[in-house]
Amino acid sequence: MSIRRIKALTKKEFIQMSRDIRSLIGALFIPLLMIFLFGYALSLDVDRIPALVLDRDETPLSRDLIHRLTDSRYFSLAGYMKEEREIDDALARGQALMALVIPEDFASGVKKGKAVHVQVVFDGSDSNTAGIALGYVKAVMAGFDMGIQERRLSRAGLKMVDMPLEGRIRVWFNPELKSRNFIIPGLTGVIMMAICALMTALSVSREKETGTLEQLISTPVRSMELLIGKLLPYLAVGLVDLALVVGAGVLIFGVPFRGSYIYLLLISLLFLTGTLSWGLLVSVISRSQLQASQIAVLSAFLPSFLLSGFIYPIENMPAALQVITFIVPARYFVEILKGLFLQGVGLSVLWPQVLALVVYAAVVLNLASRKFSKRIM
C-alpha cells in the first residue's frame, strides 16, 4: 500500500469536492437543517393539553376542580360548553383533546360524602397522548380528593394519618423529563448515518457517469488505496457535520453533554468509517447516481430512523424486528450518544456497543474493498 498514492487520491477527491460547491454546502448544512427541523418539530412532551369543560353544577367546589385541572402545566382551558352534544363535534374538529363534564349534584354529593361521578372524555385517535393525559387527570383527581378529605378531618378536629409508605422519587440523567434531551442525541446518530452514506454513495457512481473511473482503472492504484483515498475526505466532512450537529444540540437546544469529547471523537471515527464504507459499497454496485441515492436512503436512513431505538423502544418491537436491529449500526451509535450526552459514562459501560461498531466497520470496509477489487483490478 502506497501512502503517496493515497495522498494523491485524497487530494484529487478534495479538489473534486471543492469544484462542486453546492454539494459541499449541502453536505455541511443539511445535517444542521435537519437537527433544527426535527429538534423543534419533534417533541414527545405532553403538556398544555386543550380541554373543554361542561360545568352543570357551577358551584365554588366545581370551579375549584376546574382550576386544579387548568392551573397545572398539563392542561389548558379551551373553552366552556353548554350542552353535552357539543363534545363529539368539538373533539372531531380538533378544538380539544379532552372534555370534562361535571354533574349538577357534584357539590351536594361531595358534601354528603357520596361518591360523585365526573365524566372525562378523551380523543383517542392519538393513543399515546390520550394515555398520558389520562394519567394526569387521575393525579389531579387524587389531589382534589385528598384536599376534600383534609378539610373534612379538619372540621372534625382531626388530622390526616401519615401514610405508612412515602415514596421519594428521583429521576437521574434527565430530571426534568424533557423529550428533547434524548431526541437530540438519537437524532444525531440518525442524521450522521443518512448523510454520510448518501455522500459516498454518490462518489463512485458520479465517476462512472463522468467517465473518470476508467482513468483510475488504468493507473496502478490498488482497490484498498482507492477506497481509503475516497474515504478520508468524506470522513473529514463527516466530522465537521458531527461537530455542527453536536454543537447545535448543546449550545442551542441546551442538551447536556456529560461525557468525554475524546470518546465521542474516537467512537465517531469508527461509526463514520463503517457508514462511509457502506455508502461506497452501495456506490460500486449501483449503475447511476439516482439508483445509488435511492439504495442509500432505503438502506441507511429508514433502518436507522425506525430500528435504532431513536424513538421507538426496541424491546417493544416484534421479536423478528428486534433481531434485525442487531445489524443496524445506528442502534449502537444512538446508545453510545445517549450514554455520553445524558449519563456521562465511558468505555467501561459502552464497550459492547463500541465492539459492535468495530465489527461493523471491519466487515463493511472489507466488503467494499473486495467489491472494488472485482470492479477495478
Q: Residue type at 197?
A: A
Q: What is the mean pLDDT of residues 80-105?
A: 88
Q: What is the pLDDT of residue 377?
A: 43
Check whether residue 147 and residue 219 sit in a common domain. Answer: no
Report how many domains make up the chain.
2
Check whether residue 278 and residue 366 sit in a common domain. Answer: yes
Check whether residue 136 and residue 255 sit in a common domain. Answer: no
Check whether residue 186 and residue 110 sit in a common domain. Answer: no
Q: What is the pLDDT of residue 162?
A: 65
Who wins on pLDDT, 283 or 205?
A: 283
243 pLDDT band (50/70/90 cuts)?
very high
Q: What is the mean pLDDT of residues 99-115?
A: 87
Q: Rounded to whole angstroms, how far apart are CA atoms 37 and 41?
A: 6
pLDDT above 90 for 82: no
Check whether residue 74 and residue 20 sit in a common domain. Answer: no
Check whether residue 293 and residue 365 sit in a common domain. Answer: yes
Q: Using one digit for the tens of pLDDT, what is the confidence trace for 329-355?
A: 999 999 999 999 999 998 999 999 999
What single DSSP character describes residue 305? H
Q: What is the pLDDT of residue 8?
A: 83
Residue 170 maps to a domain: no
Q: Rounded to whole angstroms, how far apart are CA atoms 356 and 367?
A: 16
What percent of the chain is modeled with pLDDT above 70? 94
Check whether residue 38 and residue 104 sit in a common domain. Answer: no
Of 29-33, 149-153, 207-211, 242-246, the least confident: 207-211
Beta bridge pairs of residue 49:
75
Q: Rounded to whole angstroms, how far apart are CA atoms 233 and 206?
A: 16
Question: Are residues 368 and 284 in contact, defined by beta-carbon separation less than 8 angstroms?
Answer: yes
Greatest pairwise CA separation for the chain in angstroms: 99
Check whether residue 32 and residue 139 sit in a common domain. Answer: no
What single DSSP character describes residue 36? H
Of 125-139, 271-285, 351-365, the least confident: 125-139
Question: Are residues 281 and 368 in contact, defined by beta-carbon separation less than 8 angstroms?
Answer: yes
Q: What is the pLDDT of residue 349?
A: 93
Which of 111, 140, 155 corresponds to the end of one domain? 155
What percent of the chain is modeled with pLDDT above 90? 33
Residue 185 maps to a domain: yes
Residue 9 maps to a domain: yes
The three cell numbers of residue 49 are 393539553
Check whether residue 205 and residue 302 sit in a common domain. Answer: yes
Q: What is the pLDDT of residue 24?
A: 80
Q: What is the pLDDT of residue 271?
A: 96
Spatial neighbors of 51 by CB under 8 A, at least 6 apart, are 69, 70, 75, 76, 77, 78, 96, 97, 98, 99, 100
Check whether residue 127 and residue 12 sit in a common domain. Answer: no
Secondary structure (H, E, C), 195-246: HHHHHHHHHHHHHHHHCHHHHHHCCCCCHHHHHHHHHHHHHHHHHHHHHHHH
Q: Rounded to whole angstroms, how far apart are CA atoms 331 and 314?
A: 9
Neighbours of 340 (CB within 10 A): 22
Who wins on pLDDT, 275 or 45?
A: 275
pLDDT above 60 for 17: yes
Q: What is the mean pLDDT of residues 233-238?
A: 92
Q: Residue type at 94?
A: G
Nearest CA to 235 out of 27, 375, 35, 33 is that of 27
Who wins on pLDDT, 187 or 113?
A: 187
- Which H or E run includes 77? strand 75-80
The three cell numbers of residue 50 are 386543550
Which of 86, 120, 155 corresponds to the end of one domain? 155
Q: What is the pLDDT of residue 216?
A: 65
If you search the block for the grid coordinates 382550576, which residue do you land on? Answer: 67
Q: What is the pLDDT of residue 214?
A: 61
Question: Are residues 99 and 53 in contact, defined by beta-carbon separation less than 8 angstroms?
Answer: yes
Residue 168 maps to a domain: no
Q: What is the mean pLDDT of residues 239-252?
A: 93
- CATH of residue 94's domain is 3.40.1710.10
Q: What is the pLDDT of residue 217?
A: 64
Mean per-residue pLDDT of the chain: 86
Starting at the edge strand found earlier in the chain, the sheet holding 75-80 runs: 75-80, 49-55, 98-102, 119-122
The model's pTM: 0.82
Question: Are residues 248 and 36 in contact, defined by beta-carbon separation less than 8 angstroms?
Answer: yes
Beta bridge pairs of residue 78:
none
Residue 161 maps to a domain: no
Residue 132 maps to a domain: yes
Q: What is the mean pLDDT of residues 74-85?
A: 87
pLDDT above 80 for 137: yes
Give the total residue count for the chain: 377
Q: What is the mean pLDDT of residues 13-26?
A: 80
Q: Rounded to whole angstroms, how far apart are CA atoms 97 and 74?
A: 12
Q: Rounded to whole angstroms, how far apart are CA atoms 344 and 326?
A: 24
Check whether residue 246 and residue 293 sit in a common domain. Answer: yes
Q: Which of 15-19, 53-57, 168-172 has the highest mean pLDDT?
A: 53-57
Residue 171 maps to a domain: no
- Start-to-end CA span in the chain (Å): 14
Residue 256 maps to a domain: yes
List phi, psi (to 5°) of 72. -80, 165
Q: Rounded to whole angstroms, how far apart are CA atoms 216 and 227?
A: 12
Check whether residue 210 and residue 193 sit in a common domain. Answer: yes
Q: Using one digit for the tens of pLDDT, what is the confidence trace for 92-103?
A: 888 888 999 999
Of 218-227, 241-250, 320-329, 335-344, the least confident: 218-227
List phi, psi (to 5°) of 80. -105, 150
pLDDT above 80 for 35: yes
**Containing domain of residue 320, as a range?**
3-43+178-376
Q: Which of 214-228, 231-245, 275-289 has the highest mean pLDDT?
A: 231-245
Q: What is the pLDDT of residue 376?
A: 46
Which of 103, 120, 155 corresponds to the end of one domain? 155
Q: Using one digit for the tens of pLDDT, what is the confidence trace for 361-374?
A: 999 988 888 877 64
